[in-house]
Each structure stands twice: as C-alpha cells, then as structure tokens.
Amino acid sequence: MVKNAFITIISQEQKEENKGSVEFQVFSFTNKIQRLTSHLKLHRKDYLSQRGLRKILGKRQRLLAYLSKKNRVRYKELIGRLDIREPKTR
C-alpha cells in the first residue's frame, strides 16, 4: 500500500522534522485513503467509514489546491510520485 518511492526519498530524520509539510500530510492522507478503500471493498455498508473517507478526500483535495497555488513544481512532482489524478477544472 505504501508508495516505496516516496518513502525512500524522505529519510527517517526528515520525517520527524517535516510532519507539518504539505507533502507529508498528502502522503499520510493517501495512505489512509488506500486503507479505507480496501476496507470498504469488503464492508460495503459501513457508512461511517464512507463518511470518513469523504472527509479525508476533501482534506487532501484542499491541501493539493493550496500547494498548486503556492508552488506548481512541487505540486506536479507530488502528484507524479503518488499517482494522484489532477482534479478536473470547471
């Protein structure tokens, strides 16, 4: 589940220092999303987990929008590493 490419780039000491960075938060939300989607494949009627998944998706989307506005290069690099689709524009 965990993306090995992203973990190798962030060493153990950098994780402790950068837990507040946008990249680390998006990475942790992505891991939670993957765990919840695998859980929901088995338990389709777990509505509380569905709600939690939607909340985490919203948080990750807001963080990605923030990063997109602040630093487009870091945003593109993060999306490429985590294999996240870019949101559709209206």
CATH of the domain at 61: 1.10.287.10
- Give pTM, 2 decimals: 0.78
Residue 59 in domain: yes
Flag whether 90 is in a domain.
no
Q: 65 or 12, which is more confident?
A: 65
C-alpha distances (whole Å) from 82 to each of 43, 44, 49, 78 are 25, 26, 22, 6
- Please report whether residue 41 resides in a domain: yes
Q: Tell me if 46 is assigned to some domain.
A: yes
- Say what the pLDDT of residue 88 is: 77
Flag whether pLDDT at 90 surpasses 90: no
Task: State which residues form the domain around 60.
Answer: 19-80
The string of pLDDT tens digits covering residues 27-83 is: 999 999 999 999 999 999 999 999 999 999 999 999 999 999 999 999 999 999 999
What does DSSP assign to residue 46? -
Overall domain count for the chain: 1
Does residue 9 lie within any of the structural domains?
A: no
Let me know if residue 58 belongs to a domain.
yes
Cα–Cα distance, 17 to 26 (Å, whole number): 16
